[in-house]
Amino acid sequence: MSPEGKRLSNIVILGFGFMFMFTAFQTCGNIEQTVIKSFNSTEFHGSGYTSMSIIYGVFSASNLIAPSVVTVIGPQLSMFFSGLLYSGYIAMFIHPYTWSFYTASVLVGIGAAILWTAQGNVLAINSTDRTIGRNSGIFWALLQFSLFLGNLYIYCAWHGHVHITDKDRQTVFISLTVISLVGCFLFFLIRKPDPESSSSPSEVTESLLEPESFENSTASSPPAGICSQALDAFIKACKMFVTKEMLLLSVSIGYTGLELTFYSGVYGTCIGAMTRFGQDAKSLIGISGICIGIGEILGGGVFGMLNKNDRFGRNPVILLGLITHYVAFYLIFLNIASDAPLAPEAGTDLQAYISPSLGVALLCSFLLGLGDSCFNTQLLSIIGFLFRDNSAPAFAVFKFIQSIMAALAFFYSNYLLLHWQLLILVVAGFLGSVTFFVAEGVAQSHRRESDYDSI
């Protein structure tokens, strides 16, 4: 297989591994608040929103050490062991206890930071300036198939169920645990890419794929070598956080964290709480997730694959993502009752500004997914381009910002009515788009300088 073919193969395997893992985890996150509301036990007092807030809070803090872990053990083992923590969190729902629920939330937050830092490293190692947009799109589209597959399963399993029984819950979460473990083991199929014939930026980060770079230089004192590499990776991440490019992108990244919380947790709960959609509202959570997944897959496939970094750059895709989200937010404001995020298991009988329409609700699910893919594919692309020489710290900072905003959003989702949550998203989306446009101008300037230097 040619070096380019091997790199493409690694991207596809990476995408399938994440697809299996997040078929399980994103489905879990989408339904856990609904499951908890119907849990038949006086010994369990957990909250799905609180759990996700803990996950993303720990996720955010753990991004400070994630580059060091990836540097020491390599991204392949990093993704495998992190995946096991994800699987453990899902398995916890088979027989949940309050203490195990929140302990697993902390552990999966640590694993998430390491997992996504390693993923960004593998993506950058196996990409060039020419292929980073294409590879980001391929990975994103495969990842988002998880929303389609997982939620289709939920719809089939819970169709016609008004109340989620213990047997329903255990069957679903045993299946999701097995699916997650399959994704973990797929990471072992990723191979080290062949070096390019000429000096390439990928050579700088390639050593991270296997933790061998310190073996010879520090053979006499391996612990010192490991500590030195870990400290160096931590310092790089801290320095990168305050660069002009990352500060500009941080607003856009923060917005993706806020809307991640909304589409992956809050909106599904809102649909499930709308009794005016009928007695089968619980299974509609799965249909909503499928529509989100279709939007994500379409956006990842089209905007990622067709991203050629032409003279217009990435800005048109970001603008389309913002418009798509604004349309979705407005329709949700009109269609969904304001107390839906906070409604009890019995749901809400309140009506918003129009007669509740299931078709409009599912259209909004699709638009949320499409807009999210616009923002994320372009952020992956621009970060992979601007920070190719230090991809692991860059993607760690990316996930640090995204996860801390997601944690904040999951926290306020316990208290704020729907219209206030939508207002926050509207303001953050506007600011994030404007700062991305400025960052894209910086990226295009770097590209022109690089092209000039190569003459």
73 and 175 part of one domain: yes
Confidence of residue 211 (pLDDT cuts 50, 70, 90): very low
89 and 168 part of one domain: yes
Q: CA angle, corner 257, sides to 46 and 328, nearest 5?
A: 100
Give domain status of residue 214, yes or no. no
Rounded Cα–Cα distance for residues 162 and 283 (Å)? 9
Buried b (16+ CB within 10 A) or exposed e, 427-438: ebbeebbebbbe
179 and 252 part of one domain: no
Give domain status of residue 203, yes or no. no
Give domain status of residue 186, yes or no. yes
39 and 184 part of one domain: yes
Measured in whole angstroms, the distance separating CA 35 from the mean position of its chain's CA atoms is 22
113 and 253 part of one domain: no
The answer to whether residues 225 and 214 touch, using CB atoms and an 8 Å cutoff, is: yes
Give domain status of residue 235, yes or no. no
Q: Which of 324, 284, 289, 286 is closest to 303 using CA atoms?
A: 324
Does 205 have pLDDT greater than 60? Answer: no
> Containing domain of residue 313, as a range?
240-454
Residue owning tokens 């009109």 = 334
Q: What is the dihedral of CA 361, 363, 364, 367, to 10 degrees?
A: 170
Mean pLDDT of the chain: 81
Q: What is the pLDDT of residues 294-322, one digit of tens each?
A: 898 888 777 655 555 455 668 888 999 99
Rounded Cα–Cα distance for residues 138 and 16 (Å)? 10
Domain holding 2: CATH number? 1.20.1250.20
Give domain status of residue 418, yes or no. yes
180 and 276 part of one domain: no
Confidence of residue 277 (pLDDT cuts 50, 70, 90): low
Q: Which of 121, 109, 103 is closest to 61 using CA atoms?
A: 109
User: Domain boundary residue among 190, 211, 228?
Assistant: 190
Give domain status of residue 205, yes or no. no
User: Domain boundary residue among 158, 190, 222?
Assistant: 190
264 and 394 part of one domain: yes
Give domain status of residue 223, yes or no. no
185 and 244 part of one domain: no
Better pLDDT: 52 or 33: 52
Please say whether the dihedral angle defined by the alpha carbons of residues 170, 173, 177 and 183, taken in this order, is positive or negative.
positive
Q: What is the pLDDT of residues 172-187, one digit of tens each?
A: 899 999 999 999 999 9
**64, two tokens:** 């400070």
180 and 263 part of one domain: no
Q: How many domains does the chain fold into?
A: 2
Q: CA angle, corner 407, sides to 81 and 153, nearest 5?
A: 60
Give domain status of residue 201, yes or no. no
pTM above 0.85, yes or no: no
Q: How many CB atoms lie within 10 A of CB 199?
A: 9
Does 327 have pLDDT greater than 90? Answer: yes
Give SS3 for 416: coil
Of 128-137, 299-308, 426-435, where does mean pLDDT reach its minimum? 299-308
User: Domain boundary residue among 190, 224, 258?
Assistant: 190
253 and 141 part of one domain: no
pLDDT of residue 226: 57
144 and 245 part of one domain: no
Does 365 have pLDDT greater than 80? Answer: yes
Please state the rounded mean pLDDT for residues 164-168: 76
Better pLDDT: 216 or 28: 28
Q: Report how far apart, in Å, the C-alpha atoms of 86 and of each of 15, 56, 57 are.
A: 16, 13, 16
Does 348 have pLDDT greater than 70? Answer: yes
186 and 244 part of one domain: no
The answer to whether residues 92 and 77 touch, using CB atoms and an 8 Å cutoff, is: no
Q: What is the 3-state secondary structure (H, E, C) of 312-328?
A: CCCHHHHHHHHHHHHHH
DSSP string, 55-104: HHHHHHHHTTTHHHHHHHH-HHHHHHHHHHHHHHHHHHTTS--HHHHHHH
